[in-house]
Structure 1
Amino acid sequence: MLSFLSSTFPTLTGWLMLETNPLDQFLQGAVGACGIVVLCSLLRVYLFTEAHSTDRDVRPGEKPKHSPVGRRSGLTGALQFWVLAGILSVVGPRVASLVVLEFSLRAASARITGSRKGFEEQLLVQSQFSLGCALSCSLHFLHEGAPQRWLSLSIAAALSWYLAGLSGRLQEHVMALYRLHSSQRYCGVCIGLLSSGSSILPYLCRALFLTFAVAAVAAISTINQNFLSASEALRFWTPLTICYTLLVVYMQEEQHRQPSGNSALHTVVVRLGGLLVLMLTVGRWADVLHVLVCFLGEATCLLLAQDILDTATNVSIPSG
């Protein structure tokens, strides 16, 4: 009886499925969390400056047409970073690869059919956790089998931390002083944003495209490593492709009916719920656990970005 239960229900080690050194996994998660911080900070800077330029002609005493994104406290940002770093460290490369492929398909579909106001900004906000998975998955693929893996990941984490710090300081500077400096024209950073701040969004979109292009290759390779034969791979890829196609079609229709940021959490529940059902059918117990952890990661990203979603919905800005 005990042998039957032990073979039916996985042990804690099997659920966590630590395929690599825990230090390596944490460093990969830290890089992913830093990428999310950089994306959010630059997107907040972009939306703040564009909302300010839209409301520059408002007369004194009148209410601005748009309320810009709000400022986050340093404690909130630090807490979000460490929570995301821990979550991305737990999520295995297999589920991270599935998240990357799902978002890549959804982003391609949204790019083809997306013509509504602010869809690029909303897509960037919704890509936060997927971006963290993409960076973690790519690092796992690129450093697989490296003899000094921890050293390379440490360098990558240090550089990512530095970039995240720069983007965070830029965000704080813009939120506090952009209105004054842009009117007085004596701050080089704010003058540069005043003249070319609208180019931030196209640069972010291109960087996201390159990141997910590399991550998609890494994701397909990572998933295929788990199959011993072509028939086994076919039994996995066929339901996965059908599930992802149906999810993308449904979410496109849902977002056209409800284009506001309020549908973002509903979208997360639908697509991760579909992935959870799929993993219960053709996946492993560890995959099921990691998908459940992804729910927490997506919620951590989106709940703290509602002001960005609202601003992206209300501010009409040409994407260039």
Structure 2
Amino acid sequence: GRSTPPLPFAIQCLSMTEATHVMRTLQCMLEPILPEPSTSNLLRVLSSSSTVRTLLGDDQSGFYAIVIGSPTGVHRTRESVINSQGNLAWPKWHRFETLHEALAYIIVKGDDERLPPLVTVTTDANIPTASPQSLAEVLVQIFHDRLHISSRCLAITSPSRTLLDDSSDATLSTCEYTPCWICVPNLTAALQLQPWYIVHAPNTHTLAPIICTRNSSSLINLGSTSSCGDGHPIIYTHERNLLGIILSHHHYVQAPSRNCHQAQILGDHAARYLIAHGYTLPAIDTIIQIWGAVTSAGDFSHRLSQHGLALTEGTYLWELINIT
């Protein structure tokens, strides 16, 4: 098949301070060869930079380069490696002593023959590769460890300490221990209280980092200061057209009054449905136009399906419109 470009790749960092340091170091290295460096160029620059070769050199726990898993990239904790394996039958990863070697492995997509001579591949027997049942038990234990709550911040057990030292019950608040990811070349970072809180910036070559916090509805510059704040439920509201959701909000947003007024043409039940599901004004106008031009549920749903709406939803909407 067609080969994939070496960028972007992701690096897990253990704090925002560390993420800033890694980002600035890689920024200096990558700027001369962006936006589309070749694999050989990346390896050459990586090998010639003494700063990159010593980056995060004080970390003795090693770096896990995952090329088949979710997410791919350089992982820092054993918990993260376990989560990345998921249900994959043949995950591919290796442990390295230095970040420099792990990055080289990611860049060549796990092809050992293309690795620079100084890169040595090692494995870590402590990462569970047993049956899915035993893996599930480990993940369940990790889930329970995450449920410790402090008065100020959500407290989590350090993943590496959890797997390395079962006798330790020390916990760190997210103010002190904040796993996050940066993506190169976008170099975005996001607060990772849970694996799915990773946020990626638009597909541009900007080197401006972004973080997204659990208690914020907007993106904040990485350099700004922010406290943990009290946790609260994350509520999603969506804007959608007939093809699907086009925009999501992480807080409650009142529907525009114009949308409510326009949807009332279809009756109270249909209007409530469309507003509750965040349909945009152009989508509502299209529904009204088609509704006025057809005489049956079949024609109505089929006409809407040409704009991307599911047949079953179109039929249901017809029934709502015709409720007396």
Greater share of helix? 1
Larger strand share, 1 or 2: 2
Q: Does TM-score exceed 0.5, indicating one fold?
A: no
The structure with the larger Rg is: 2
Higher relative contact order (CA 8 A, sep 6+): 1
TM-score when normalising by structure 1: 0.24
